[in-house]
Copies of this chain bind each other. A is one copy, B any other.
Amino acid sequence: MLVSDACRAELLAVGSEILLGQISNSHAQFISQELAKHGLYVYHHGAVGDNEARIQAAFEAAVKRSNVVIVTGGLGPTADDLTKEALAKFLGRDLVLSEEALAHLNQYFAGRNRKMPDENRKQAYCIDGGTLIPNENGTAPGQYIFARNVHFFLLPGPPLEMRPMLTKSVVPQLLSVFGGKQALISRVLHFCGIGESDVDEQVQDLTANENPTVAPLAGEGEMLLRITATSSTRDAALEAIASVETDIRSRFGPYIYGVDDDTLPSVVGRVLRERAETLAVAESCTGGMLAGLLTDIPGSSDYFLGGVVAYDNRVKESLLDVPSTVLERHGAVSEETAKAMAEGVRSRLVTTYGIGITGIAGPSGGTPEKPVGLVYVAVSDSFGTEVHRLQYRVSRTQVRVRTCKQALWRLLNRIQMRSSESPQSSS
């Protein structure tokens, strides 16, 4: 494929509020996703303020490296909406009144029983030689112009206006220019219970590949591998990904818990619903975070009955039936207490599975025998109870987040063991 045939797109968001951090540039992710779906490459994201000189400078840099520039924002009626003006100057073109755009504007305001404010006239001007991109949801039309060997697309900032314009107008036009030449497809595998560097060591042969590419992504308490294939057809790309995925799964098995948009809570939920089984959790150091993650999933009430946040020992006794002798003899942070918590919440709430978590999230509260970051996670079911000892050396929040993910991943393994009916190996 000739380089000149390939889409080399970049995105530019215009708006000082982005640079001040008052709003996030969510357009970049949305547009990148839409283009990636169709194998249209994005090589650069940028954001600049409402400043004509800096917007022009951004165009100057863009035309050196890209053949598609998609700009969002700065098409409004106010004095600091300068995107169109900056591009016209950059290209040395005039802005000409578009009767069509003016009619659309008048129509828009008439439909709201309002007279068009004079300042909105500005939005009816179009860069000479360019074409308008219709905006069904607002006053600012988009603009398309091919100049300096670059396809420029100007889109308004409000997401509800920009998004349909991108999918209905920009993407089809890009496909008519660059499409059909190749498909680019990605698939993400989610890992838990194994370190990023351990995974990377075992896939170095794959990460060296050109196509499909395999790239590790770090996560909090989990990690991801992204497989990306480019091919002349979508099916060929999917095939290439499938064979690499099979290879990777053969190397990591249970450490891979999901794909693409899966999360541990969503996968646990799916599995429990399929099996018509239920879960309850007893939390000490995670303090409700695990229950919060589980109930963030719509419909989780089908399989998650509830839980107990037993921060105080008296709560462990009164609501979870943890024997005071266990707490006295082994302490609140112990294998025995975690076990009693999991079994207690499971029997109190009458569920298929019970999870018990106790530990020292820190920053204080540690001892030489039981340092900060020591956590016990217990998973209980009718076959018995297994307890896992974890030792973290990270911040309080990280200990809590990683513990929650570990607990869900251990539960998934427990369920898999259970379905493979080898109870004796399960505790």
Contacts and interface: CB of A to CB of B under 8 A. Distances in A.
Interface of A: 13, 15-26, 28-36, 41-50, 54, 57-58, 61, 65, 76-80, 108, 111-114, 117, 119-120, 136-138, 157-160, 164, 186, 188, 195-198, 200-201, 204, 207-208, 215-220, 226, 228, 281, 283, 285-292, 294-296, 298-301, 304-312, 314-315, 318-319, 348-350, 362-364, 391, 393-398, 400-401
A44 B43 contact: no
Nearest to A188: B22
Given A45-B19, A220-B158, A287-B296, A112 B305 contact: no
A20 B65 CA distance: 18
A306 B300 contact: no
A305 B288 CA distance: 12
Given A45-B47, A292-B288, A393 B298 contact: no
A185 to B, nearest CB: 11
A22 B217 contact: yes
5 contacts: A20-B228, A44-B46, A44-B48, A44-B58, A76-B216
A298 B362 contact: yes
Nearest to A15: B217
Contact of A288 (B80, B111, B288): B288
A311 B305 CA distance: 5
Given A77-B197, A319-B319, A113 B364 contact: no
A117 to B, nearest CB: 4
A21 B30 contact: yes
Given A108-B393, A197-B117, A289 B287 contact: no
A401 to B, nearest CB: 8
A301 B312 contact: yes
Given A46-B45, A120-B197, A307-B309, A22 B186 contact: yes
Contacts of A291: 283, 287-288, 291-292, 309
A39 to B, nearest CB: 11
Contact of A117 (B198, B289, B348): B198
B311 A308 contact: no
A352 to B, nearest CB: 13
A228 B17 CA distance: 11
A82 to B, nearest CB: 12
Given A288-B292, A312-B301, A318 B348 contact: yes
Given A160-B398, A312-B306, A393-B111, A298 B32 contact: no
Given A24-B24, A108-B393, A43 B48 contact: yes
A283 B158 CA distance: 26
